[in-house]
C-alpha cells in the first residue's frame, strides 16, 4: 500500500473517484496504484504532480510502496 498517497488523498478530502477524475485516470487505476497492486505509469505520477503542484521530493515520498 502507498500510505503516503492515501493520506494525501484523505487530507484533500477526496474520494478515489474524485482524485482519479482530477488527474485523468479511472478509479480502478487510481485504486490499484494507491493499494500497491500497480506501480503507476510515469504519466500517472506526472498528472498527480501537476494537478497539485507538488515538489519532486513530495512526489518521491508518495511513490514509495510501503
Cα separation, 58 vs 38, in Å, equals 19
The per-residue pLDDT for range 8-22, each reduced to its tens digit, is 999 999 999 999 999
Cα separation, 12 vs 48, in Å, equals 13
Cα separation, 43 vs 7, in Å, equals 21
Q: Are the C-beta atoms of residues 27 and 45 closer than 8 Å to each other?
A: no
Domain ranges of the chain: 3-63
Reported pTM: 0.91
The per-residue pLDDT for range 19-34, each reduced to its tens digit, is 999 999 999 999 999 9
pLDDT the model gives residue 65: 86
Cα separation, 25 vs 4, in Å, equals 19
Q: Which homologous superfamily does the CATH classification assign to the domain defined by 3-63?
A: lambda repressor-like DNA-binding domains (1.10.260.40)
pLDDT of 66 strictly over 90: no
Amino acid at each position: 500500500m502507498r500510505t503516503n498517497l492515501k493520506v494525501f488523498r484523505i487530507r484533500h478530502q477526496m474520494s478515489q473517484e474524485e482524485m482519479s477524475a482530477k488527474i485523468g485516470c479511472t478509479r480502478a487505476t487510481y485504486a490499484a496504484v494507491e493499494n500497491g497492486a500497480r506501480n503507476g505509469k510515469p504519466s500517472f505520477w506526472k498528472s498527480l504532480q501537476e494537478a497539485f503542484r507538488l515538489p519532486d521530493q513530495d512526489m518521491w515520498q508518495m511513490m514509495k510502496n510501503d
